[in-house]
Amino acid sequence: MLSSTVENYLKELFLLDQYGNKEIATGEIAKSLDVTPGSATSMIKTLAQAGLVEHRPHYGVKLTKQGRTLAVHVVRRHRIVELFLVKVLGMDWSKVHEEAEQLEHVVSDEIISRMDDLLGHPSHDPHGDPIPTTDGTLPERPLQLLSFCDRGDSVSIARIGNQNANFLQFAQDNGLLLGARIEVTNRNDIADSMTIHAKGKDVVLGLAAAGRIEVEYA
């Protein structure tokens, strides 16, 4: 059984490059996991010795086929747990990420399978992140960042990329929930802001904040 630390590294490498197209710098991994570069380098060497990553010093690190399989397994557990906490236990979507971070390392495959059955084999978690299938396939959708939308565009919210509790609470308070229809009523590139109409009211977003929301056209 893998340690929670190993699982966290594998999962983070997957999240930083879901399709395995690039090498991830050690510094980027360290920043993402909030550890020192020295700690990250040491763990990466351990993962490389175990055949879970390919590491080229001064270039970066990539998951091997075995490492990716294990990483996807952890991601699947995490996202199913999140959805279960929201849909079945009624927890607020802004609070389930941290809970799932703990539970993903201890919940059994049998429990995950039963959760998946109960939820009806969902394709996405409460924040719109795709849930890998049992064979490791990651559902894909043609999404666009809200920050790239123009005035007059009418779209629906498909994913909230920032799972910070405060940002999720802001999104909820302003009707920016998954599936919500919104219209871009104004865009000001000089002020780096846009105005959207959601849930019967206008909401002003900085383009940085809008870049954390992914949308799809009807």
Domains of the chain, earliest start first: 4-63 (1.10.10.10), 73-139 (1.10.60.10), 144-216 (2.30.30.90)
Residues forming beta bridges with residue 193, ordered by sequence position: 188, 206
8 A C-beta contact, residue 157 and residue 179: yes
Residue 1 makes CB contacts below 8 A (sequence gap 6+) with none
Q: What is the pLDDT of residue 1?
A: 67
Residues forming beta bridges with residue 155, ordered by sequence position: 182, 217
CA 135, 178, 92 angle in degrees (round to 5)?
90
Mean pLDDT, residues 149-172 taken together? 92
Which residue, 108, 72, 208, is CA-closest to 148? 208
pLDDT (tens digit per residue) in 84-137: 999 999 999 999 999 999 999 999 999 999 999 999 999 999 999 999 999 888
pLDDT (tens digit per residue) in 33-56: 999 999 999 999 999 999 999 999
Could you tell me what percent of the chain has a pLDDT over 90? 83
**pTM (predicted TM-score):** 0.90
CA dihedral 200, 82, 6, 73 (to 10 degrees): -110
**Cα 205 to the center of its chain, rounded Å:** 21
**How many Å apart are CA 188 and CA 203, to the nearest integer?**
13
Residue 131 makes CB contacts below 8 A (sequence gap 6+) with 76, 79, 80, 83, 122, 123, 124, 125, 139
Could you tell me what percent of the chain has a pLDDT over 70? 99
Q: What is the pLDDT of residue 19?
A: 75
Q: Is the pLDDT of residue 187 over 80?
A: yes
Average confidence score pLDDT of the chain: 93
Question: Counting every residue, how long is the chain?
Answer: 218
Q: Is the pLDDT of residue 218 over 80?
A: no
Residues forming beta bridges with residue 213, ordered by sequence position: 160
**How many Å apart are CA 56 and CA 19, to the nearest integer?**
19
- pLDDT band, very low/low/confident/very high, at 206 (cuts 50, 70, 90): very high
Q: How many CA atoms are closer than 13 Å to the CA of 88, on its beta-carbon side?
A: 14
